[in-house]
Structure 1
Amino acid sequence: MKRLFVFAAMMIAGLSVFGQSTGAKNEWRIRLRGVGVVPQESAKIGVIGGDAAISNSFIPELDFTYFFNKHFAAELILGTTRHKVSTTASNLTAIGGAASANVDLGKVWLLPPTLTFQYHLPVGKFNPYVGAGINYTIFYGVDEGPVVKGLDYKNKFAFAAQLGADYDISKKMFINVDVKKLFLSTDVTVDASNLTPTSSPQLSSTLANLPADVKINPWLIGVGIGYKF
């Protein structure tokens, strides 16, 4: 978490220095949003097959936007979210289970700092914008749940797309609506060796390193309030 704030401070300072070096107007905007995180998940799971189910979440999100001029800006988005994870319709007959079963894989926290570059088209008090950029998602605080022995999520880079609008309610304050899409996937390794009988060491070895390619691809739908300075 400390490294995230150091990264954020460096990015914000870098944007400010760049803007000053180009003679741009130094305008910042800070927003606090309430964001609904809605994954569009799918998965390829080794051996047991099935798909993934990842819960929706609602979180606070803080972002900082630096304007190079009235049309071009960069935004750094900070927030963290927790999700319940499970497999669906997995075949557990090899370990004496059902042919189509859901497996509770507990919960995991995602920390997805995202940097987007935006084009703004202000018209009076209304300022719509589009953006695109990069995301790096850190998986932490893994709770593997009551079934399997362990889980490992690989941190990943992803592409981000954005559409939103600000509406001025005073000279300094504005309201914001924002929609982002993260094209995020991760490699997951599941250790389910605890579920195999002791008489099947080969199966136990296979289930100790059960791979899954999981696409999360969440929508982030936010509404909030901001301040210009």
Structure 2
Amino acid sequence: MKTLLMLANTALGGAAAMLAATPAMAQDDDRAGDIQVKLLATAVLPDGKITDINVNLPGLPASLQTKANDNVTPTIAIEYFVTNNISIETIAGMTQHDVDTTAGLPAGAELVSNAKLIPATVTAKYHFDLGGLKPYVGAGPAYFLWVADDPGAATLPLGVTETNLSNELGLALQAGFDLPVNDKGLGISVDVKRYFIDTTARWFVGNTLAIETEHKLDPWVISAGLSYRF
């Protein structure tokens, strides 16, 4: 986690350095202060791999392995242009996932059901101007907030009454492009993010912690849709 925080600080510091190094561009840029809103269809492709088993009262196999399912969800991105080349972006959306076994138990045994995630993300982006096409790269911190999760069907026979996934801070790297389609601000956007973030999963039987596992999520998040800059 310290490494992720250092990477996030370095990425944001680099964006700030680019901004500080181009004050003249910020003053001369007639697009500075623009806002861009994007309505996107987003595919969330998490890993979900178990990296450690900390508590194992039921004696689950040491070879136990899992994966979170993929999902597609609508998202909104809101972006503020500090200059025509440098912007700050955040996203709004929620995605739902189940976690199933892939090894150690019969494949497809459900361990977590209907886990709902808000991937709060802020990125600093640098845009390149290639004429019509405007590619960009970005990076910034992400906070994965789990707002709901239920015990999976395979855990209920073990007496599990509650499941909890820990909220965690991590890093997001980003690349994509915007393509204007008219001179009124309408465009097409494609965006790819890779998150580096984990979670701790806990299953309780009453008040007793029965299972605790560490999971590598590290999802790819791929979006495409319409943008409007004004």
Q: One fold, TM greater than 0.5? A: yes
1:112–1:138 CA contact under 8 A, matched in 2? yes
1:184–1:215 CA contact under 8 A, matched in 2? yes
2:134–2:178 CA contact under 8 A, matched in 1? yes
| Cα offset, 1:132, TM superposition | 0.4
C-alpha distance in structure 2 between counterparts of 1:39 and 1:118, whole Å: 23
| Cα offset, 1:59, TM superposition | 0.5
C-alpha distance in structure 2 between counterparts of 1:123 and 1:108, whole Å: 41
Q: Determine whether 1:219 maps to 2:220.
A: yes
Larger Rg computed on CA atoms: 1
Q: Determine whether 1:114 maps to 2:121.
A: yes
Residue in 2 aligned with 1:183?
196
| Cα offset, 1:184, TM superposition | 1.5
Q: Which moved more, 1:116-125 or 1:140-149?
A: 140-149
Tell me the SS of whatever aligns to 2:129: coil
C-alpha distance in structure 2 between counterparts of 1:34 and 1:88, whole Å: 28
| Cα offset, 1:114, TM superposition | 0.5
C-alpha distance in structure 2 between counterparts of 1:45 and 1:33, whole Å: 37
Please report the TM-score for the alignment, with normalisation by the length of structure 2: 0.76
* Paired residue type of 1:175: I
2:191–2:223 CA contact under 8 A, matched in 1? yes
* Paired residue type of 2:75: E
1:45–1:51 CA contact under 8 A, matched in 2? no
Q: Which moved more, 1:39-48 or 1:162-171?
A: 39-48
Q: Determine whether 1:41 maps to 2:42.
A: no
Matches within 5 A, 1:55-66: 55-66=69-80
Matches within 5 A, 1:14-93: 25-43=32-50, 44-46=52-54, 47=56, 48=60, 49=62, 50-90=64-104
* Paired residue type of 1:180: K
Runs of 5+ in structure 2 lacking a partner?
1-25
* Paired residue type of 1:156: E
1:188–1:213 CA contact under 8 A, matched in 2? yes
2:179–2:189 CA contact under 8 A, matched in 1? yes
Q: For residues 66-96 of structure 1, what are the alpha-carbon distances to aligned partners after superposition, in whole Å with 9 as ceiling and x for unaligned?
A: 1111211111111110001123333xxxxxx
Matches within 5 A, 1:158-177: 158-171=170-183, 172-177=185-190
2:87–2:126 CA contact under 8 A, matched in 1? yes
C-alpha distance in structure 2 between counterparts of 1:214 and 1:176, whole Å: 31
What count of residue pairs does the alignment treat as equivalent? Answer: 188
* Paired residue type of 1:69: T
* Paired residue type of 2:94: T
Aligned CA-pair RMSD: 2.1
Residue in 1 aligned with 2:6?
none
Runs of 5+ in structure 1 lacking a partner?
1-21, 91-99, 195-203
2:48–2:99 CA contact under 8 A, matched in 1? no
Q: Determine whether 1:104 maps to 2:110.
A: yes
2:36–2:228 CA contact under 8 A, matched in 1? yes
Residue in 2 aligned with 1:130?
137
C-alpha distance in structure 2 between counterparts of 1:224 and 1:89, whole Å: 37
Q: Which moved more, 1:142-151 or 1:76-85?
A: 142-151
C-alpha distance in structure 2 between counterparts of 1:111 and 1:60, whole Å: 12
| Cα offset, 1:145, TM superposition | 2.9
Please report the TM-score for the alignment, with normalisation by the length of structure 1: 0.76
